[in-house]
Amino acid sequence: RILEALLSEAKNRSQIAKELNLNWRTVNRHLQILAEENMVKRSGFGQRTFYKLTPTGEEVIEISAKK
């Protein structure tokens, strides 16, 4: 769901949490994992940290959509 939330544009963790109705700490932890797996890229610092899909993340969404 987090990857899909980033399809249209880069977002910060608060925007993602609000959109998905999740706790920001939960979103933050999952974003860390997704970044470690090269599915999202982080830019900025602190409150101004935004996340966007990498080509790997886009590929994961495409594969999931085909199932």
Instruction: State pTM to two decimals.
Output: 0.87
Q: What is the pLDDT of residues 11-44, one digit of tens each?
A: 999 999 999 999 999 999 999 999 999 999 999 9
Give the mean model confidence (pLDDT) for residues 50-57: 97
pLDDT at residue 12, rounded to an integer: 96
Question: Which residues span the domain enclosing 51?
Answer: 2-66
| CA nearest to 53, candidates 66, 34, 28, 33 | 34
Q: How many domains does the chain contain in total?
A: 1
> Which pLDDT band holds residue 66 (cuts at 50, 70, 90)?
confident
CA angle 14, 28, 46 (to 5 degrees): 70
The enclosing domain of 20 has a CATH number of 1.10.10.10
pLDDT at residue 30, rounded to an integer: 98
